[in-house]
Homo-oligomer: A and B are copies of this chain.
């Protein structure tokens, strides 16, 4: 763990309180998902490196070794988590687009869905973030692939905007993505501005600048 983000040493007192010792064959059938959820929360909060398997296992009430029954490695756990997140985000965005035809409206709604997903599930913040994993090996590729697939949705939407000459759709799309993905860095859930208002403002800027 990084000393930059220390962790309370013995938080054993704040256990789920359901049962003092969960015995062998716990009720909930899918501990896998518990683990994924816990890992998501922790990694979003502290980063991949700063989140230890100990942390994850403790969060889900297991011993560290037990996590390895479900996932062969921390990396594999992360990859699956990342995949899940992208899956969820994809579904969310596609749902928002359902039945909407106007190109600029489609952009507005997808940006909104993206940002709301980012803010609500704090899972997602770090996930979509770059150079995320220390070892820049195969995992980085997998993660990049996941992201690319997701971004295809936005590529298509930008395509349909029929932007005027001089407006590079790729740069504008990546610029919008940057704006949105950066929001969690400064956003404070104080309610002054909702994610929806924020993303609407970003898209409004684009529309105001480039709509026919």
Residue-wise, chain A 52-79 has the 8 Å CB interface mask toward B (1 for contact) of: 0000000000000000000001110010
Stretch in A31-39, A96-104, A154-162, A170-178 with 4+ CB within 8 Å of B: A170-178
Tally of contact residues, A, Cβ under 8 A: 55
Stretch in A15-23, A83-91, A181-189 with 4+ CB within 8 Å of B: A181-189
Q: How far is the CB of A148 from chain B (nearest CB, A)?
A: 10
Quick check: A4 and B184 within 8 Å, CB to CB? no
Helix, strand, loop or mixed for chain A's interface?
A: helix
Residue-wise, chain A 126-140 has the 8 Å CB interface mask toward B (1 for contact) of: 100111111111011
Taking a contact as CB atoms closer than 8 A, the residue among B5, B73, B180 that contacts A137 in the complex is B5
Taking a contact as CB atoms closer than 8 A, the residue among B73, B133, B137, B193 that contacts A171 in the complex is B193
Q: Nearest CB to that of A201 among chain B residues? A: B171
